[in-house]
Structure 1
């Protein structure tokens, strides 16, 4: 998974499937970010074609961990099928979801 930093915001870009195989990797990155004081994450899901319950679970868990450290997570780039899953599970009401990555990054500055 590709990850970069922009304006003290970590951008994670999972690719392909966000499932039980990738979930531990995302959790480890989130833990490291929080330990390093980087508690703002943009999860760019534009290259994700499938999300299962483990993938959704790790996103919620990561959001909770970030919130407990005074941070937040923004999500961007949802494909139609993935957005439908977020709406079905009502997670679209839990996460701040943006079409574009730049808007998600900007969402941190407008929320302060």
Structure 2
């Protein structure tokens, strides 16, 4: 997996390419934590080019969501394929994370 970071006026967009799994979740998590420490409060994670998340990847997302909420922020997910959306629904994590179809939808949410 690789990921790219893109700063907008009021958010950080993280685009995931490949799988979010145990071998790369810490680098992903640290990049976002660093941004939060620098004042970012809205993080949009784009899974359009990703197809798989393991339990450690889910754990990283939950941890990041808690951290962002602690500082008054929000973690938003976009571009989940049917399998990923089903995973979030089955684990009931769709109640924790706002899920959006597009980046524009996620960025427009308040």
- 1: distance between equivalents of 2:99 and 2:34? 23
Which of residues 33, 36, 39 is equivalent to 1:37? 39
- Bigger drift between 20-29 and 82-91 goes to 20-29
User: Structure 1 unaligned runs (5+)?
Assistant: none
Q: Does 1:75 align with 2:77?
A: yes
TM-score when normalising by structure 1: 0.92
Name the CA distance, whole Å, in 1 between partners of 2:14 and 2:91.
22
1:102 equivalent among 74, 98, 104: 104
Q: CA RMSD in A?
A: 0.9
Task: Measure, in 1, the Cα distance between the counterparts of 2:20 and 2:29.
Answer: 12
| Deviation, structure 1 residue 8 | 2.3
**What aligned pairs does 1:1-112 form with structure 2 within 5 A after superposition?**
1-107=3-109, 111=110
- CA distance in 2 between counterparts of 1:30 and 1:68 reads 14
Question: Which one has the bigger strand percentage?
Answer: 2
- Tell me, in whole angstroms, the C-alpha distance in 1 between the residues paired with 2:73 and 2:86: 26
For these two proteins, the number of residue pairs brought into alignment is: 108
TM-score by length of 2: 0.94
